[in-house]
Amino acid sequence: MSDEKRVILAYSGGLDTSCILVWLKEQGFQVICYMADVGQKEDMEAARKKALSLGAEKIYIEDVREQFVVDFVFPAVQANALYEDRYQLGSSLARPCIARRHVEIAKREGARYVSHGATGKGNDQIRFEMTFYALYPEVQVIAPWRMPEFYKRFEGRTGLLKYAEERNIPLPVTKESPYSCDENLMHISYEGGILENPAAVPPERIFKMTCHSELWPDKPENIEIEFKNGIPVKVSNLDDGTTKEKPLDLFLYLNEVGGRHGVGRIDIVENRFIGMKSRGVYETPGGYILLVAHLDIENVTLDRELRKVKQGLCIKFAEQVYQGFWWAPECEFVRFCIDKSQEHVEGKVRLSLFKGQVYVKARESKMSLYNEDLVSMDKRGSYNPEDADGFIKVTALRVREFNALRSALAAQNSS
């Protein structure tokens, strides 16, 4: 096979990439499909057969779930990563993981081209291509949704549905349910259809990872999460004795218990990197549980001033990941600093899951900076109350001087 027009297509089996596969063939490309298993619940074998039936030369189906958790999700846990205070970056973290393997396959196959189905209005095109160019600088990217010959021919999803009907492409998406759903083991996101109107309430039927409130258990479920270097290393169910220690098993189990209690749903309007606002509905049960637990164990083990510095780095990290800069030098530096801050972040946090909420019940750590004797209201410990007198006066000095001047000026102006 000549590599002159060989392209590796990131393939999902859905509307966009199925149509793009056929369209690339019509443009004279030899198409090799690549499908990453990041925890989405899809029939991979059916996807394989579909890609081959649509004309793909071959298809790689790669299980990258463990890599996703260890290399991308856990660093985000260490960072308490939240974009715009709420979004836990499920899609943003998956893209550099998926694209890394995409590049490896392209190099193995000697392909000069890579392609994806990300919309020309979204963030994913940036995230994918920033990885492509970082790890394969000489690669050429085919992004159909930015090519006039493609987007002028297909007016959004409706145009693709018509094209699919004409080319006999079987699709799971219908005109009656046109939601764009991105699923991986960290989250599921929903966009499109009526969700494009931020005033519309999402139909309950769209949710897959979390139970409806009518099905939430009437009894709390108690778990314990153990951390080492800011990374979860063990989850124990204190009610039934279940324990999980392997990274992938641990995360999937948190999704399971969090899902049945309805934990981790959000509905937000966010600012895309490309400049527009978009509405997204997300489910992140396991990730939200870890966020709550990690914040708690950090508060016990991190020095106050170190925590302040880290908070700023975490905001920067979330922006970098959201905007597709995982492989950029500044993001590598920020990850290094955050990882350094986690050297003493270890211990256990006990939590209760109940009616859509996560409640911290207790925590313990051999690296705890909490000194019970020092803080106790019943003991003086090593603290000398008289020291507070000078501390308060020095702290108040600038405030006293500022307000004294303001009072003097006010008196002068009134006279």
Is 90 exceeded by the pLDDT of residue 15? no
* Active-site hit among 6, 48, 65, 95: 95
pLDDT above 90 coverage of the chain, percent: 86
Domains of the chain: 6-180 (3.40.50.620), 188-364 (3.90.1260.10)
CA distance 251 to 38: 12
Would the pTM of this model clear 0.75, i.e. be above it?
A: yes
Q: What does each C-alpha distance from 400 to 258, 386, 392, 403 come to in angstroms? A: 51, 21, 11, 5
Say yes or no to pLDDT of 185 above 50: yes
Q: What pLDDT shows up at residue 415?
A: 79
Adjacent-strand bridge partners of 63: 37
Instruction: Give catalytic status of residue 341 as yes or no.
Output: no
In sequence order, which ranges of 39-86 are alpha helices (DSSP H)?
44-53, 65-67, 74-78
pLDDT in tens, 356-365: 999 999 999 9
Residue-level pLDDT at 108: 97
Give pLDDT tens digits for 115-156. Answer: 999 989 999 999 999 999 999 999 999 999 999 999 999 987
Q: Is 180 a catalytic residue?
A: yes
Q: How confident is the model at residue 3 (pLDDT cuts 50, 70, 90)?
A: low
Enter the tokens of residue 25: 């063939």
**Is residue 95 among the annotated active site residues?**
yes
pLDDT in tens, 232-243: 999 999 999 999
Task: Categorize the per-residue pLDDT at 178 as very low, low, confident or very high, splitting at 50, 70 and 90.
Answer: low
Residue 1 above 50 pLDDT? no
* Candidates 6, 16, 91, 335; catalytic one: 16
Q: Rounded to a whole number, what is the distance in angstroms from the first to the last CA of the chain?
A: 93
Distance CA 134, CA 326 (A): 10
Residue in 124, 279, 350, 363 annotated catalytic: 124
Whether 240 sits among the annotated catalytic residues: the reply is no
Mean confidence (pLDDT) of the chain? 94
Q: How does pLDDT run across 276-296, given as a tens digit for each residue?
A: 999 999 999 999 999 999 999
Residue-level pLDDT at 373? 83
Residues 19-41, mean pLDDT to the nearest whole number: 96
